[in-house]
Amino acid sequence: MNVGAGITVVGLTADDAGGTREVFREPLRQGVAPRRQLREAGFRASRLPDVTSDADDAVLAYEVTPLPASSRTPCAHATEKADLVRQRLAAYAVVTSERGVLLTRLSQTTGRPGLWILPGGGVDAGEHPAEAVVREVWEEAGQDVELGELVDVSSSHRVGIGRGDVVEDFHAVRLLFTASCSQPSEPVVHDVGGSTESAAWFSIAEAVDPEAPGYPEGGMASWALDAVRAFADMP
Q: 84-232 in CATH: which number?
A: 3.90.79.10
- d(CA 207, CA 171) in angstroms, rounded, equals 26
Q: What is the pLDDT of residue 73?
A: 59
- d(CA 33, CA 140) in angstroms, rounded, equals 27
In degrees, to the nearest 5, what angle opens at C-alpha 196 toward C-alphas 154 and 89?
A: 30
What are the residue boundaries of the structural domains of the chain, listed by start?
7-70, 84-232
State how far the alpha carbon of 211 is from the alpha carbons of 116, 136, 199, 234, in Å.
Answer: 16, 29, 21, 22
- Quote the DSSP letter at residue 220: B
- Quote the DSSP letter at residue 35: H
> For the chain (length 235 residues), average pLDDT per consecutive 10?
70 88 96 95 93 85 88 56 87 98 95 95 91 97 97 91 78 96 98 95 97 96 97 87
State how far the alpha carbon of 226 is from the alpha carbons of 11, 109, 173, in Å.
Answer: 26, 24, 15
Q: What is the pLDDT of residue 76?
A: 54
Give yes or no for a contact between 33 and 174, defined as CB atoms under 8 angstroms apart.
no
Q: What is the pLDDT of residue 3?
A: 43
Q: What is the pLDDT of residue 2?
A: 43
Q: What is the pLDDT of residue 167?
A: 86
Using DSSP's 3-state secondary structure scheme, residue 70 falls into: helix
